[in-house]
Amino acid sequence: MPPPPCADEPPRSLLSKLWAKATGGSPQPPQPGGSTGRAGIHPWLGVGERLSAEVSADGRVLAQFEHTAQHPGLSKRPTVEIALPNGLRKLRLRGALTASDGGVARFDRRWTVRDLSVHTSPLYDGGRPLAERVRVFADATGLARFAPADPAADADAAFAEAERRLGLRLPTALRELLSAGGIEIEHSYFVAPQRLRSAAELLLGEGGYADLDAVPDAVRARYRRSVVAFVEIGDGLGALAWDPAGAVAGEASGRGGAAGDAGAQPGEPGQGLWYWLHQGHLDEPALLLDDGDRPRTHEAALIHPFQRLAMSPIDDRESDDELIVDSAHPRNLLQLHFEAPRKPRLWLRSYDYFFSLY
């Protein structure tokens, strides 16, 4: 069975500090509120391995499922989706794993559940303007910084100039977010209205490229017509950008590493396409697509930097018997793999730098 990629373990103290901040020092977090969340279980098995399992929450059976791995790597489509009941405390997974040679290993695993929604619920509160959601999240967690805009700044004039120069109409959600103030995640940042530029301009400027001749023609054209909303400063230069031309049917998603990825499908007319570029793979930017392989909404894409960067350090399990979930997230991606034939592991990947793309 191929091992899944594992990131370095984050500092053990960060999540504990967040719990303490959210609960006023109480050793136990408050019960999560709001609507019930959902999670998809995505197996990572060896080709030919078969899984038959039952998943239950606090003693109530949620689902039974079977899965046979046809491709190596993480299954892009969830094998099963389950509800995350409010106040969920225990999750149990039991069943049998059949190896490609026919050997059968039975397993029965239980996890204590910790729900991140006490921290993340502002980001997903569709009843509030996006800028307010970001501000509340930043103030509550300290995982981002929000500085209100100078009332004297003329954002509308800056947007008009950028639209004229770039030859596009900026999405309303982007205009509203950028005009509200400066937003930073460590050294990365949302672009100020006065500094809006194309992806090509970013690469030829801050990126230090003399030209983009080595990039495929279609990708180079995308970079030239796209506007950068967010700049990632970290292990190389990255960016979240919007292409007004949208997706081409069947084009590569640029997300690799998962089985069953059929490529992009066009969205609604005028919707465009959000994507993530990085110096490490300029030839193939990663497209931000929904479960139907169509472009994500503007708000979903603008939340993505918080999922990919701000939240990534908080997958901080206190033990192997703890499962972290987020009932506020529209769909948790739970990777299921086996550390040994009788030892399954469920792992929240929705806030992983790479797998948050799914």
Q: For 149-201, write each residue's pLDDT tens digit.
A: 998 889 999 999 999 999 999 999 999 999 999 999 999 999 999 999 999 99
Model pLDDT, residue 7: 39
Parse the chain into domains and list their residue ranges: 13-116+312-357, 119-310
Q: What angle do CA 266, 306, 334 make, to 5 degrees?
A: 75
Q: Which two tokens stand for residue 298?
A: 């503007």
What residue has token string 């609604």?
Answer: 268
Closest CA to 136 of 97, 195, 181, 73: 181
Q: Which two tokens stand for residue 189?
A: 């940042």
Is 111 within 8 Å of 346 (Cβ atoms)?
yes
The mean pLDDT of 71-91, rounded to a whole number, is 88
Model pLDDT, residue 152: 83
CATH number of 119-310: 1.10.3470, 3.40.1580, 1.10.260, 3.30.70?
3.40.1580
Under the banding of pLDDT at 50, 70 and 90, the label for residue 204 is: very high
Model pLDDT, residue 143: 93
**Residue 307 identity (one-letter amino acid):** Q
Q: For 244-258, write each residue's pLDDT tens digit.
A: 999 999 998 887 655
